Amino acid sequence: MKDTMILKDGTTVELEVGASLAAIQVAAADRTAMLQIWQKLTEENLAEVQIKNGSGLTVGTYTDLMLVSETSTVDADGAVTTTYNLREKSAIEKRLDSVETGQKIQDGAIGDLGETVGALAEGGEV
């Protein structure tokens, strides 16, 4: 059995032997299958990742990963081998994510407050 990478949404991706976080190697039957895997490597899905060995034992648990790059080769039979370069976000990147999340919450609260003030100004009730 091959090692696997389990993404936050539960997607399981089979890994080739010898893969490391900076060089996750994945074989796909064709370009369409490769693209489906690549599309799953979203910021949301990389927020929680587990790597399990062929015996099903967890050998790595990661949070806040990001996709740095991908490189693919196409074999004569159309099969695609892709190397994904993943890394953990830096402390600064994590802080920036936190600030952006806080800003979205604040923007929503300001919008709600604006609607309330507008309704009161028009003589309505809240």
Q: Are residues 109 and 85 in the same domain?
A: no
For residue 52, the SS3 value is strand
Q: Are residues 59 and 96 in the same domain?
A: no
Residues 29 and 81 both lie in one domain: yes
* Structural domain boundaries enclosing 85: 4-89
Q: What is the pLDDT of residues 74-107, one digit of tens each?
A: 999 999 999 999 999 877 776 776 667 667 777 7
Same domain for 13 and 74, yes or no, is yes
Enumerate residues 6+ apart whose C-beta is below 8 A from 33. Answer: 80
At 35-80, the pLDDT tens digits run: 999 999 999 999 999 999 989 999 999 999 999 999 999 999 999 9
Same domain, 83 and 94: no
Please tell me whether residues 61 and 115 are part of one structural domain.
no
Same domain, 57 and 107: no
Q: How confident is the model at residue 9 (pLDDT cuts 50, 70, 90)?
A: very high
Are 55 and 26 contained in the same domain?
yes
